[in-house]
Amino acid sequence: MFESDVLTVEDVTRLLGLSRNTVYKMAGEGTLPSYRVGRKLRFSARDLADFMASARAASPARPADPEPATAPEQQPRRTLQDAAQAMAPKLADPLVLASDDVLGGFFAHLLSQRGSGTVAHPMSSYAGLVSLYSGMADMALVNLYDFRSNSYNVPYVQRLCPGTSVTVMRLLRRKQGLFVAAGNPRGIRSWGALARDDVRLASRERGCGARVLQDQKLLALEASMEDAGRRSAECATAAEAISRVSQGAADACVGYAEEVGPIRGVQFLPLQTECVDLVVRKDHRTRDAIRSLRQMLEGEALRQRLQLTLDCDASVSGAIAYEC
């Protein structure tokens, strides 16, 4: 669960690309600000963003890396900027779009075609906002539900990107719900099933839109997060989560219809409409990209393309959900 700006050790390892031992060591040395809740180590997303920004500013320019002398699995994990440069070697300083959604790559390609060299970097919605705040990413594609306001994305932008000048552009709306086994043998009909003792969950990784939606619904139901954790198996991808349901290893998982792909033996129960937005930092780097995005999203051609290929509602494309 991502409440406020609290991060776990696992969250930090994914954000920084470090091992658990390294994160514990840095926390123990005071290099990485942390605190404890009982016996558990916790971090502030804002402290982590400040740390990432400081690390980026202190990193000197370096020549291209030589060919690795050891096996790939022994190499240190690349930083966000390293990955961006590797993915777009012809671009001197590409814009980075943080996204774990297929739409991230789609919009990065469109922006590059229009002259704003952009690369998509796989990252959850929550992590993308942290990276945008720290200056490690220029844009983040997000789909984060907040049950207190019954709205998407803006509450998280306000919490995780304080003092940052951004524009939040609505891309599309699509149906979110639950994948269950074909025939729905457990009789699952609503979000309330997430709190049932007899329903096993295939949970997505922390920070992605589906996982945040699941945890926010559990909070709204005042369900025990500890109990839900015992009934859950965390999956790295939507395909893995849906496959667990199709194979009978789980009874339900959160997602949207198009994620099913070629997987058989499941059915989708649409339960609510989700908003997918693009958060863009407003500065000299992104000025042309923002202009291009507005032109594209206001055009009927792109809206029709999105609706035909993704079975979504693109009538809202280009609307400004929030700006500061």
Structure confidence by residue, pLDDT tens digits, 125-142? 999 999 999 999 999 999
In this structure, is the dihedral angle defined by the CA atoms of residues 12, 14, 15 and 18, taken in order, positive or negative? positive
Question: pLDDT tens digits for 12-40?
Answer: 877 776 777 778 878 877 778 888 777 78
Q: Which amino acid is at 23?
A: V
Q: Does residue 179 register a pLDDT over 80?
A: yes
pTM of the model: 0.74
Q: Does residue 264 register a pLDDT over 80?
A: yes
Q: What is the mean pLDDT of residues 166-184?
A: 96
Contacts of 21 (CB under 8 A, 6+ apart): none
DSSP 259: G
Euclidean distance between CA atoms 278 and 293, whole angstroms: 10
Euclidean distance between CA atoms 173 and 204, whole angstroms: 20
Among 256, 254, 298, smallest CA distance to 273 is for 256
- Which pair of structure tokens corresponds to residue 159? 């919490």
Q: Does residue 61 register a pLDDT over 50?
A: no
Q: What is the mean pLDDT of residues 68-72?
A: 39
Among 181, 201, 204, 205, smallest CA distance to 191 is for 201
Among 28, 44, 39, 124, smallest CA distance to 80 is for 124
Question: pLDDT tens digits for 202-254?
Answer: 999 999 999 999 999 999 999 999 999 999 999 989 999 999 999 999 999 99
